[in-house]
């Protein structure tokens, strides 16, 4: 045979031998599966939307319920496409820090900072979260920080009980607040086993303070 490769193949067939296996080159950069990352969604509170920007923005939230709770008269809640999904025109005008309705996240942060000895600048950071205390029916239930917790939970629709400070009484984290925290943990934090505890060791404080 004129072709050496065909001749060698013929001899292997006669001898009952198979052709040598062809080794595939190693793929040093194998394709990696794309991660299925959930896109962060923001809801913004402001007076309008122009050129992709929320005008006079006063807050941005991952949780739509929080944005609606903090939307005041003259403002609207916008989704990421600039569509107004809620109007604050009918929201009751309340004095921040006193009435539960209209008790915004920023006022909540300031009151928590005051109650725990942090600089009351309305911006939650390392100092703020570091000075928080664990609050529950069995821990710090009479702490001053219970009052802003009650107000914020009421503004978000989780707490329907009385706010002791409004009656001139000392705060008390009771059964109603425990149930409110449990509901918040289930709905917002996706806890499978809520514990009715607001602590920096988990997610509750950071979530309420707008840090996550």
pLDDT digits (tens, 9 = 90+) for 48-90: 999 989 999 888 888 888 888 888 888 899 998 999 988 887 6
3-class secondary-structure state, position 77: strand
- Distance from C-alpha of 60 to C-alpha of 166, rounded to nearest angstrom: 29
Q: What is the reported pLDDT for 35?
A: 42
Q: What is the reported pLDDT for 7?
A: 61
Q: What is the reported pLDDT for 97?
A: 36
Burial (CB count within 10 angstroms: exposed 0-12, middle 13-18, buried 19+), residue 176? middle
- The residue with tokens 């664990």 is 134
For range 162-166, the mean pLDDT? 94
Q: End-to-end alpha-carbon separation of the chain, Å?
A: 77
Tokens of 10: 């013929």
Asked if pLDDT for residue 94 goes beyond 80, the answer is no
Mean pLDDT over each residue of the chain, to the nearest integer: 83
Residue 176: pLDDT band (50, 70, 90) is very high
* Residue 110 or 93, more confident: 110
CA distances to 8, 63, 107, 174 from 210, rounded to whole Å, are: 76, 10, 12, 24
């Amino acid at each position: 045979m004129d072709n050496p490769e065909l001749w060698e193949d013929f001899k292997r067939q006669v001898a009952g031998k198979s052709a040598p296996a062809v080794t595939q080159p190693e793929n040093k950069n194998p394709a990696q599966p794309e991660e299925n990352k959930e896109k962060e969604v923001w809801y913004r509170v402001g007076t309008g939307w122009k050129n992709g920007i929320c005008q006079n923005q006063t807050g941005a939230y991952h949780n739509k319920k929080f944005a609606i709770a903090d939307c005041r008269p003259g403002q609207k809640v916008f989704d990421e496409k600039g569509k107004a999904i809620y109007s604050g025109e009918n929201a009751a005008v309340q004095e921040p820090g006193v009435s539960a309705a209209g008790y915004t996240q920023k006022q909540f942060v300031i009151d928590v900072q005051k109650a725990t000895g942090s600089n009351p600048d309305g911006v939650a950071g390392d100092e703020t979260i570091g000075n928080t205390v664990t609050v529950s029916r069995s821990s710090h239930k009479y702490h001053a920080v219970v009052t802003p917790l009650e107000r914020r939970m009421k503004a978000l629709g989780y707490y329907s009980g009385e706010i002791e400070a409004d009656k001139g009484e000392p705060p008390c984290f009771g059964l109603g607040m425990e149930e409110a925290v449990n509901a918040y943990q289930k709905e917002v934090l996706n806890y499978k086993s809520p514990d009715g505890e607001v602590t920096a060791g988990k997610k509750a404080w950071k979530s309420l303070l707008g840090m996550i």
